[in-house]
Amino acid sequence: MLDAVNSTQTAIVDITLENAQQYLIDESFKRPVVIDFWADWCAPCKNLMPILEKLANEYAGAFLLAKVNADAPQTQMIGAQFGVRSLPTVMIMQNGQPVDGFAGALPEVQVREVLAKYLPKPWEAALTQAQALMAENNFADALPLLRQAYEISGQLAAINLLMAQCYLELNRVDNAEAILSTIKMADQDALYEQLQSRIALMKQAAKTPELAALETAHLAAPDDLQIRFELALQYHQEAQHRPALEHLLHVLRKDRNFADGEVRKSFNGILTALGKGDALAIEFQRKLFTLLY
């Protein structure tokens, strides 16, 4: 297996007498070290090892899997020093001391439960990277990382609020507003209140005379599809994509080929501009599909 020098990139290492101190003790002060004591003749060892290797690669170096052949002459004494009495035996090292472990070949779900107590959550790396990008005002690149962390975390509201913040910084008021509408009262913290206030101010500031005039015209003639179409285009121009798509969809419901297909073309153009994976784009793509088919 791998026996790299750079521990930040090493996920799995075979232990020898020469590297035992480095990887079993010294490395445990930097990250958890999971020691797997195994032997060739041990059938349960062969069931457990692929699980440990899978998790080591999945966590990409968040912990080190240190494999000790307890039957090899040069490493037998390591197992004796750790008090290993049966195989397989797994020990977790932190700060130079064993803190947990188990004997026997546990199923993957139980191995995950043991390791989870000592490892960062799978989504924390994406969240940390996204927050670093936000600190650099790179909100566009932070968004997909936040979306990934949000889904993996089981949809934590705190991460959802950070997505709303990114959308606001990108002048995507409608996306931010849609997110805030899903936040439960128990999760409506100071950031939530701050974002709500920013949305109100941005909406007020964004209303140009052209938009105000079209809104007035639409109120006066709500059945006029041409006015509604022009209003939708103005909303899109001012980065208010949700009302733009809602008005375009209304026109398509009344007349699928209105303006010689320009309405549908504009609708699809907005979806394309929003990008694949965008929640608003996915929502309205489904609505269009339902309308057409």
Taking the CB of residue 181, how many other CB atoms lie within 10 A of it? 8
Mean pLDDT of 140-162: 94
Residue 138's pLDDT is: 96
With b for 16 or more beta-carbon neighbours within 10 A and e for fewer, the 254-285 pattern comes to eeeebeeeebbebbeebbeebeeebebbeebb
Helix (H) or strand (E) holding 99: strand 97-103
pLDDT value of position 69: 97
Q: Where in the chain is the domain with CATH 1.25.40.10?
A: 124-206, 209-292
pLDDT digits (tens, 9 = 90+) for 214-267: 999 999 999 999 999 999 999 988 878 889 999 999 999 999 999 999 999 999
Q: What is the mean pLDDT of residues 33-52?
A: 97
DSSP 169-234: HTT-HHHHHHHHTT--GGG--HHHHHHHHHHHHHHHHH--HHHHHHHHHHHH-TT-HHHHHHHHHH
What sign results for the dihedral spanned by CA atoms 44, 47, 51, 56? positive
**Which tokens hold the place of 9?**
């990139």
Confidence of residue 9 (pLDDT cuts 50, 70, 90): low
- Could you tell me the pTM of the whole model? 0.52
Q: What is the β-pairing status of strands 12-14 and 64-69?
A: parallel
Q: pLDDT of 157-196, one tens digit each?
A: 999 999 999 999 998 888 899 899 999 999 999 999 999 9
Determine the Cα angle at 216 with ends 215 and 219, to 5°: 85
Question: Alpha helices, DSSP H only, in 93-123?
Answer: 108-116
Q: What's the CATH architecture for 12-116?
A: 3-Layer(aba) Sandwich (3.40)
Return d(Cα 129, Cα 125) in angstroms, integer.
Answer: 6
Q: Boundaries of CATH 3.40.30.10 in the chain?
A: 12-116
- Residue closest to 46 by CA, chosen among 36, 55, 56: 36
Of the options 3.30.70.600, 3.90.380.10, 3.40.190.10, 1.25.40.10, the CATH number for the domain spanning 209-292: 1.25.40.10
Is residue 17 predicted with pLDDT exceeding 70?
yes
pLDDT in tens, 97-135: 999 999 999 999 999 999 999 988 878 888 999 999 999
Catalytic residue among 12, 15, 24, 42: 42
At 7, which amino acid appears?
A: S
Q: Which listed residue (45, 106, 245, 288) is catalytic?
A: 45
Q: List, in sequence order, every residue forming a beta bridge with 243; answer none if it has no partner.
A: none
Contact 52, 90 (CB under 8 A): yes
> Is 42 among the catalytic positions?
yes
Say whether 166 is catalytic.
no
Classify residue 86 by its DSSP letter. S
42, 74, 91, 115 from 33: Cα distances, Å: 22, 20, 8, 10
Q: What is the CATH number of domain 124-206?
A: 1.25.40.10
